[in-house]
């Protein structure tokens, strides 16, 4: 099981990154839930979503102690870093977030995901981040399932699928190297 | 096959699968995906969608369509449901089947748009004027939303009574895997529930049919309401639904419905890992209420106390107290205003009593 909070500005693809995970999880026959923030929360600092995948039935769709937290902007890091489980993971988009976590008991990854994705697809940062996540999931979600999720979400825009899949693959490679 | 569905869209598709062909509504967050989905989907299956000029009009359009024997529904969120109450009372009094969905947001007044359960009293104790009840369901997952909606028109037709399904912004907005059952045939449903015997659909034997809620003669009206309440007794016997979760040896019993029940389940798992025996009674029907299940638990010597958990200032807790009837302490834990409690809050409450 993984409980993931993804947070950032509206328009950074935060909610769809969560959907990619849930679509991938369902293809792996995992249970999954995707809970978005909505309303005034979206207009202020952060849009966020809580995503869970599990072999078990998912009880609460709300997450008080995430295993993984991804911050696409600084308010998101401020808001959620305190809640991450001991030994959990914080990932920041270091193109936007210019500070480090204050937590000493978590794994911390700074990924310049905007720059990395821009070389392939300027709007592919969230799919690149999906690639970053897959190695962290320890094989729970296969590359193939993630590719299908990308194909599904972009069904109505088939032109963007190949470059997004390229972002996904590049993200996976980047993270594998980082974790070596 | 299971697909990832947003709660609001799943319930809309489940209604279509159940043979619903007419939707009348007026937009309000956080249920807008239901009318949005229906606005294109119903035309694919030969139905019709109308965005009415107001909630009052929408519920009266449901009244009209239901009178003609159609499977019709409306959906809204709390302030909009308040506006529909007059029509719901009329529909109950005219003994017409229909389905009403309330994706609750926080009140009172216009309130906010985040999840809440503040409409429990309204949903279960009448809402509109007079002696009547809707049959009220409170699903807690997207799949359960689908299953209950799929069955709701049959229950409504069986008893000729409005069914209300209540969720909240969280359940409406979230996505989960769900499977939509196969399409029911609307015409077949018309036959099955003998609507040709009463509906004002223009195919009668030439004798006029009247759908009415006006019974001006006291004796006639009393006879009618007594008959209505006999119907509710039968509904209570046959339709009451409840889930008991880890109740076998439970000492601390949460009572919660809808999304909050899921938060309780997560707390129960955590409490049990710490050696504290907690369980949950989850009413699936809020009217009729699963009083007997709570009574039984109150008599169980293992049970130390009940904690009713709601996203309100405490509404269902009154029904829990009635059922427990002083046999065990009944406490209340609630959040309001659109705030959601976390599993850790409930763990702390059980361990520290606050």
pLDDT, tens digit (0-9, with 9 covering 90-100), for A5-34: 999 998 889 999 999 999 999 999 999 999
| pLDDT confidence of residue A43 | 56
Dump pLDDT digits (tens) for B95-122: 999 999 999 999 999 999 999 999 999 9
Q: Are residues B191 and B291 in the same domain?
A: no
CATH code of A170's domain? 3.40.920.10
What 3-state class would DSSP assign to A8? strand
Is it the case that residue B354 has pLDDT exceeding 90? no
CB A26 within 8 A of CB A32: yes
Residue in B closest to A33 by C-alpha: B176
Report the range of poorest mean pLDDT among A28-32, A83-87, B195-199, B329-333.
B195-199
Residue for token pair 């429990």: B120
Dump pLDDT digits (tens) for A53-95: 999 999 999 999 999 999 999 999 999 999 999 999 999 999 9
For residue B67, being part of any structural domain is answered with yes
Is it the case that residue A44 has pLDDT exceeding 70? no
Q: Are residues B229 and B343 in the same domain?
A: no
Residue in B closest to A34 by C-alpha: B175
The last residue of a domain, from among B223, B239, B255: B239
Task: Name the more confident of B216 and A44.
Answer: B216
Q: Are residues B178 and B304 in the same domain?
A: no
Of the candidates A23, A60, A65, the beta carbon closest to that of B262 is on A60
Q: Are residues B181 and B257 in the same domain?
A: no
Residue in A closest to B105 by C-alpha: A39
Beta pairing, strands B22-25 & B72-76: parallel
**Candidates A24, A25, A59, partner chain B, best to mutate (most B CBs within 10 A):** A59
Is it the case that residue A41 has pLDDT exceeding 70? no
**Candidates A26, A62, A66, partner chain B, best to mutate (most B CBs within 10 A):** A62
Contact list, B259 vs chain A (CB under 8 Å): 61
Contact list, A59 vs chain B (CB under 8 Å): 262-263, 265-266, 269, 343
Q: Could you tell me the pLDDT band of residue B207, with boundaries at 50, 70 and 90?
A: confident
Is it the case that residue B205 has pLDDT exceeding 90? no
Q: Are residues B171 and B312 in the same domain?
A: no
Range of the domain at B90: 3-202+215-239
Q: Are residues B27 and B153 in the same domain?
A: yes
| pLDDT confidence of residue A1 | 94
| pLDDT confidence of residue B271 | 98
For residue B209, being part of any structural domain is answered with no
Residues 128-187 in B contacting A (C-alpha not used; CB under 8 Å): 169-170, 173-177
pLDDT over 70 percentage in chain B: 99
Q: What is the mean pLDDT of residues B143-148?
A: 98
Say how many domains are in chain B.
2
CB B84 within 8 A of CB B58: yes
Q: Are residues B157 and B175 in the same domain?
A: yes
Contact list, A38 vs chain B (CB under 8 Å): 29-30, 113, 169, 173
| pLDDT confidence of residue B111 | 95
Taking any CB pair shorter than 8 Å as contact, residues of chain A touching chain B are: 19, 22-23, 26, 31-36, 38-40, 58-62, 64-65
Closest alpha carbon to B261 in A60, A50, A36: A60
Q: Are residues B101 and B113 in the same domain?
A: yes
Record: contact B174-A65, CB cut-off 8 A:
no
Record: contact A26-B2, CB cut-off 8 A:
yes
Range of the domain at A20: 2-179
CATH code of B271's domain? 3.40.50.920
Q: Are residues B228 and B279 in the same domain?
A: no
* B337 and A CB contact within 8 Å: no
For residue B134, being part of any structural domain is answered with yes
For residue B184, being part of any structural domain is answered with yes
Say how many domains are in chain A.
1
CATH code of B114's domain? 3.40.50.970
Is it the case that residue B22 has pLDDT exceeding 90? yes
For residue B210, being part of any structural domain is answered with no
Contact list, B4 vs chain A (CB under 8 Å): 19, 22-23, 26, 32, 34
Is it the case that residue A42 has pLDDT exceeding 60? no
Q: Are residues B198 and B148 in the same domain?
A: yes
Contact list, A26 vs chain B (CB under 8 Å): 2-4, 177
For residue B80, being part of any structural domain is answered with yes
Q: What is the mean pLDDT of residues B34-54?
A: 98
The DSSP letter of residue A99 is S
CB A125 within 8 A of CB A12: yes
Dump pLDDT digits (tens) for A96-153: 999 999 999 999 999 999 999 999 999 999 999 999 999 999 999 999 999 999 999 9
Q: Are residues B226 and B258 in the same domain?
A: no
Dump pLDDT digits (tens) for B48-57: 999 999 999 9
Q: What is the mean pLDDT of residues B225-245?
A: 98
Q: How many CB pairs under 8 A join A and B?
A: 67
Is it the case that residue B178 has pLDDT exceeding 70? yes
For residue B76, being part of any structural domain is answered with yes
What is the helix (H) or strand (E) element at residue A168, kind and residue range? helix A161-179
Record: contact B4-A19, CB cut-off 8 A:
yes
For residue B69, being part of any structural domain is answered with yes
Is it the case that residue A45 has pLDDT exceeding 90? no
Q: Are residues B339 and B288 in the same domain?
A: yes
Residue in A closest to B4 by C-alpha: A23
| pLDDT confidence of residue A46 | 74
| pLDDT confidence of residue B204 | 65
């Amino acid at each position: 099981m993984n409980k993931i909070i993804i947070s950032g500005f509206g328009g950074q693809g935060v909610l769809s990154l969560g959907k990619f995970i849930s679509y991938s999880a369902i293809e792996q026959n995992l249970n999954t839930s995707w809970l978005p923030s909505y309303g005034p929360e979206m207009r202020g600092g952060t849009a966020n979503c809580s995503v869970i995948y599990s072999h078990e039935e998912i009880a609460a769709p709300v997450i008080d102690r995430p295993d993984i937290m991804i911050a696409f902007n600084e308010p998101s890091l401020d808001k959620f870093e305190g809640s991450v489980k001991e030994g959990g993971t914080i990932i920041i988009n270091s193109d936007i977030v210019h500070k480090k976590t204050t937590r000493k008991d978590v794994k911390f990854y700074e990924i310049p995901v905007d720059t990395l994705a821009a070389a392939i697809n300027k709007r592919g940062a969230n799919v690149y981040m999906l690639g970053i996540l897959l190695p962290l999931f320890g094989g729970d979600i296969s590359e193939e399932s993630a590719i299908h999720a990308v194909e599904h979400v972009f069904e109505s825009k088939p032109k963007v699928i190949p470059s997004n899949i390229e972002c996904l693959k590049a993200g996976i490679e980047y993270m594998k190297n980082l974790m070596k | 096959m299971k697909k990832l569905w947003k709660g609001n869209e799943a319930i809309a598709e489940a209604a279509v699968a159940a043979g619903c062909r007419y939707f009348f509504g007026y937009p309000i967050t956080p249920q807008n995906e239901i009318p949005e989905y229906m606005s294109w989907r119903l035309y694919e299956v030969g139905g019709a969608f109308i965005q009415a000029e107001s909630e009052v009009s929408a519920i009266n359009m449901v009244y009209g369509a239901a009178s003609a024997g159609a499977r019709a529904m409306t959906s809204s969120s709390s302030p909009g449901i308040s506006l529909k109450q007059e029509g719901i009372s009329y529909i109950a009094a005219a003994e017409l089947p229909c389905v009403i969905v309330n994706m609750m947001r926080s009140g009172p007044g216009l309130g906010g748009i985040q999840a809440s359960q503040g409409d429990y009293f309204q949903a279960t104790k009448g809402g509109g004027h007079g002696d009547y009840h809707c049959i009220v369901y409170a699903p807690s997952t997207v799949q359960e939303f689908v299953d209950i909606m799929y069955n709701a028109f049959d229950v409504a037709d069986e008893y000729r009574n409005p069914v209300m399904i209540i969720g909240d912004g969280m359940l409406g907005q979230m996505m989960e895997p769900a499977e939509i059952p196969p399409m029911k045939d609307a015409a077949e449903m018309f036959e099955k529930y003998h609507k040709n015997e009463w509906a004002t659909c223009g195919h009668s034997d030439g004798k006029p049919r009247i759908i009415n809620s006006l019974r001006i003669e006291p004796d006639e009206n009393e006879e009618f309401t007594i008959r209505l309440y006999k119907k509710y007794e039968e509904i209570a016997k046959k339709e009451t639904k409840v889930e008991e979760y880890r109740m076998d040896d439970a000492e601390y019993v949460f009572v919660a419905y809808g999304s909050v029940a899921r938060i309780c389940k997560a707390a129960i798992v955590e409490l049990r890992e710490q050696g504290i025996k907690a369980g949950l009674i989850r009413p699936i029907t809020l009217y009729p209420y699963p009083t007997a299940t709570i009574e039984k638990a109150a008599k169980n010597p293992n049970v130390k106390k009940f904690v009713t958990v709601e996203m309100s200032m405490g509404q269902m807790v009154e029904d829990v107290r009635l059922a427990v009837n002083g046999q065990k302490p009944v406490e209340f834990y609630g959040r309001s205003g659109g705030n959601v409690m976390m599993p850790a809050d409930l763990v702390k409450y059980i361990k520290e009593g606050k």
